[in-house]
Chains A and B, each alone.
Chain A
């Protein structure tokens, strides 16, 4: 069983890594670059293989899934080999990471490792307490996995089964990833959904670490995941086996890829295609992804046209959508041919919507909830008996603001557009969530209490990433005698070019 499960993950990992080699061939770098490929590739691979499984499900080929996965691995491997032979991997992009193995970095590594071990132990206890996950895990995600796996050829009937309370309109990335592993294993295992939760929790930490190590500095790379590990709700939600953590991963992956695209020579299209795939997978993970995809597309198109005119607008948006399109077609098929109506949309009427839009009381209630939750969401699920109340805990958004005030802002010129873009995406997502609450046909208080903190947590890893892309850092040299470290994906054409083009505001 363990071998079969490992095989299912391994094929996903290989497919994801090969995609990263094909679309970001120029990431030369050593351990951090390889780790980036592993963390980003594993998540993308799981997403892509869940899409493949869905197609196999439609075609009645699920028994051949391992063989099909293997063929995909071979084809991508061959493509990778051909591209490398043609010299595409020899583009003059260098990832330089200059810096000594200073006492500062050793200290950070030790603290990071201790926090990681402590977080894994906390995750393990949460799993032992609730091995089937929390409420939504067995009401929605694991329930869907069971139905899809156990129904055999009759799997389509569950979507018309009338079990609306289980939200059969929710996308299938997570349930199908679980089903795919069960398929490899030849039977169900209670541990697979929990392992998926653990995997995506670790992938977010790893992706944050590697991307910030590559884009900023190793110290940033260690500090950012420490914020997430210090967020009790992040660990709890991972152990809860909800789809919010995989969704948070794909949001982060999309935004990270957009930064990589900006750092590549000649605005290479590869990272944009990967960003598109990751964005598409957002829509294949949760319905919130259907909001994320247009928002990120508009922000990308807006910044591309602002910085490079119409040509860049069409080019960048085109590559991004080319990556997203295959996954979006799957989502479209699912939404139009299988999924029942969403409960938020089903009760929609123009009269009710306009009445809600013109009700200032709703805006006030939602704004209050956003304020309280914005500060308190890191601490966990709301106790409905106590209602919403301020509970900031040790780690929250205010800590990041204070940190930014203390360390100052240091933005690489190359990242300026992407930082604006990422901030716009996150703010527009929050605005979108706000208006979903304004229009919700559900009881407003019930809807806010049961979902708002999860929505904030979905954006939290990306917000942390954004903060650390903008934050300055105490120079290791001044702390422990090491030399300053910088990281750049840009080829270094000469002294002072491609790196340290930094504007510092303090």
Chain B
């Protein structure tokens, strides 16, 4: 009996490894095959990029712009850190990703401010408090603001 196991256990190891890796690889492929027909024509990052890219003609080639969204700016990172909402941060990062090398600051205190309101309007009174007046509305929640210098 012992000799039998000694003879076959190494082969069993080889067999086990091939079967399990084969199963894992084919399982991943099966998941991918099932996913493939449901893939959108454009991925979310590309869609966001195309949307944000409309701003480029009105922005300087370099320098800084501000940023405003559905929530107060300080909540963008806090919500992600607390695993509550990653969308606000993703939208901010993708705005920066698209507009680089222009630096998009996470705050409204700049002459030009990108308003990105995919998830709803800004907090009540936010625009007035920061003296932001629309320069151009691109639709789909994207507005470029000019900041009133008196504020």
**Residues in A lying within 8 Å of B, measured CB to CB:** 108, 111, 114-115, 118-119, 121-122, 125-126, 128-132, 135, 138-139, 142-143, 146-147, 150-151, 154, 158, 161-163, 165-166, 223, 226-227, 229-232, 235, 384-385, 393-395, 399, 402-408, 443, 446, 449, 472-474, 478-479, 506
Contact = CB atoms under 8 A, between A and B. Distances in A.
A119 B36 CA distance: 15
Q: Which 3 A-B residue pairings sit nearest by Cβ, starting from the closest? A: A406-B13, A230-B21, A230-B24
18 contacts: A118-B26, A121-B29, A122-B32, A129-B35, A131-B46, A138-B93, A142-B97, A143-B93, A143-B96, A147-B100, A223-B17, A223-B18, A226-B18, A232-B24, A394-B27, A399-B17, A449-B83, A474-B11
A394 B20 contact: yes
Given A154-B62, A406-B12, A395 B43 contact: no
B32 A121 contact: yes
B13 A474 contact: yes
Interface in B4-33: 6, 9-14, 16-18, 20-29, 31-33
B94 interface: yes
B20 A230 contact: yes
B90 interface: yes
Given A130-B45, A384-B83, A394 B24 contact: yes
Contact of B28 (A130, A232, A406, A473): A232
A473 B43 contact: no
B80 to A, nearest CB: 9
Contact of B43 (A129, A402, A472): A129
Contacts of A393: 24
Interface string B80-98: 0101000000100110110
A214 B67 CA distance: 56
B28 A118 contact: yes
A472 B17 contact: no
A129 B39 contact: yes
Contacts of A108: 18
Contact of A128 (B6, B26, B36): B36
B96 to A, nearest CB: 7
B101 interface: yes
A108 B35 CA distance: 29
B103 interface: yes
B77 interface: yes
B101 A147 contact: yes
Contact of A151 (B23, B26, B46, B101): B101
Contact of A403 (B16, B22, B25, B32): B16
Contact of B81 (A126, A158, A446, A479): A446
B17 A125 contact: no
B41 to A, nearest CB: 10
Contacts of B11: 474, 478-479
A146 B97 contact: yes
A384 B80 CA distance: 11
Contacts of A158: 101
Most central of A147, A231, A393, A474 by chain B CB within 10 Å: A474
- Assign chain B's interface to a size class: 35 or more
A108 to B, nearest CB: 8
Contact of B25 (A118, A135, A150): A118
Contact of B103 (A138, A163, A446, A478): A163
Given A119-B28, A130-B45, A150 B100 contact: yes
A476 to B, nearest CB: 10
Given A223-B17, A402-B13, 9 more contacts: A115-B22, A122-B28, A158-B101, A166-B96, A226-B22, A229-B21, A385-B83, A393-B24, A474-B13
A227 B23 CA distance: 11
Given A395-B24, A406-B12, A150 B32 contact: no
A334 B95 CA distance: 27
A320 to B, nearest CB: 34
Contacts of B28: 118-119, 122, 232, 235
Contacts of A226: 17-18, 21-22, 25
B106 to A, nearest CB: 8
A154 B122 CA distance: 34
Contact of A227 (B17, B27, B43, B90): B17
A132 B94 CA distance: 11
Contacts of B24: 229-232, 393-395
A16 B45 CA distance: 34
A230 B19 CA distance: 10
A132 B46 contact: yes
Contacts of A162: 103, 105
Contacts of A506: 6
A347 to B, nearest CB: 14
Given A150-B101, A446-B81, A394 B23 contact: yes
A506 B7 CA distance: 12
B83 A446 contact: yes
A27 B49 CA distance: 49
B12 to A, nearest CB: 5
Given A118-B29, A235-B28, A407 B90 contact: no
A130 to B, nearest CB: 6
B6 to A, nearest CB: 8
Interface in B23-72: 23-29, 31-33, 35-36, 39, 43, 45-46, 62
A19 to B, nearest CB: 33
Contacts of A478: 11
A223 B93 CA distance: 41
A404 B16 CA distance: 11
A126 B17 contact: no
A407 B15 CA distance: 11
A449 B12 CA distance: 36
A394 B93 CA distance: 36
A132 B90 contact: no
A385 B28 CA distance: 22
